Amino acid sequence: MGDYAGMESLALIMEAPERLSLRSLVLDAPGDADVVVEIHWSGISTGTEKLLYTGKMPMFPGMGYPLVPGYESVGRIVDAGRAARCRIGDWVFVPGASCFRDARGLFGGSARRLVIPSARALRIDESLRVDGVLFALAATALHALAGGTAPDLIVGHGVLGRLLARIAIARGAPAPTVWETDSGRMAGARGYAVMAPNADSRRDYRSIYDASGDADILDSLITRLARGGEITLAGFYAGRLGFAFPAAFRAEARIRAAAEWAPEDLGETRALIESGALDLTGLITDVRPAREAHEAYPAAFFNRDCLKMVLDWSDC
């Protein structure tokens, strides 16, 4: 490995809510089990990153500004420590990094170059190209599904809702119904039906997965449950969730919160993709050069025509 003392990387930095900069940061020197990854693309999360951008993210360990966001990056290993030399040349998915000297790595993936432990660099097929940034979101959907029964209703036809439906079908479950209130997002279904909630009269759903992120949705979902049915909270909610007890009491409703993916979920997601059971295409709608991050971030969060925004680092 070359001398990486004082190595720098161009990185996207959230200096404060709604204030972005693109500047060089000094990286930690890689150790024997670390790899150096040149990032080609990094995705923008419309869940956690939107909360960071707007300043509405609840406080938790590691939270604070300035920070480097991003946990959906793909690129190539260009160097490695002695214990990981065999990884050089691998095309990998990077679920974030914490290698920056002068900014918090929360989540640390939106940079041109990263230093991470080899174990955190997931080898993926290079033919996926930009679609590889979807691994974290797909693994999150899979984790939610693995913890409960298969959905017969999914609320929200954004990227997470689409991945929940695709993965449920890929794992052999019957095609779910998907609700969407935005007519512009009803297209793009693959093997399942999408409809507006007010067009659906059904009130006996056994398993509802909410991917809307709407903190006020529980009361309406509870009235759609069969007795003993379950609601899985698969999104990320900035507001406090609550519900009226009588309807939940009558339905003997169960409510389950799904956490983020675990390492084994990434492996199972890769297996579904490599087998051809899960297709990630058609979910990324916008790709912009990283130097346009100032415009890309608001567009990712507030432009309803944008399903998924990705930053291209190749010319930085």
pLDDT digits (tens, 9 = 90+) for 142-190: 999 999 999 999 999 999 999 999 999 999 999 999 999 999 999 999 9
Q: What is the pLDDT of residue 3?
A: 63
Note the pLDDT of residue 66.
92
| Boundaries of every domain in the chain | 8-123+285-312, 137-257
- Please tell me the distance from the alpha carbon of residue 195 to that of residue 176, in angstroms, as a whole number: 11
- In which residue ranges of the chain is pLDDT below 50? none
Helices within the chain (DSSP H only):
48-54, 135-146, 159-170, 218-222, 245-251, 263-274, 293-302
Q: Which helix (H) or strand (E) holds 140?
A: helix 135-146
Helices and strands: H and E segment counts in the chain = 7, 15
Question: Quick one: fold of 137-257?
Answer: Rossmann fold (3.40.50)
Q: What is the pTM of this model?
A: 0.94
Contact present, 137 and 307 (Cβ < 8 Å):
no
CB under 8 A, 24+ apart: contacts of 258-265: 258/140, 258/143, 258/144, 258/147, 258/148, 258/232, 258/233, 258/234, 259/143, 260/140, 260/143, 261/136, 261/139, 261/140, 261/142, 261/143, 262/143, 265/139, 265/140, 265/142, 265/143, 265/146
> For the domain 8-123+285-312, what is the CATH code?
3.90.180.10
Q: What is the C-alpha to C-alpha distance for residues 276 and 288, in angstroms, rounded to an integer?
A: 28
pLDDT computed for residue 6 by the predictor: 73
Q: Which residues, listed in sequence order, are joined to residue 232 by a DSSP beta bridge?
A: 209, 256
Q: Find out whether 208 and 153 touch, Cβ atoms under 8 Å.
A: yes
Q: What is the pLDDT of residue 47?
A: 86
The Cα 92–Cα 114 span in angstroms is 12
pLDDT at res. 62? 66
Q: How high is the pLDDT of residue 4?
A: 64
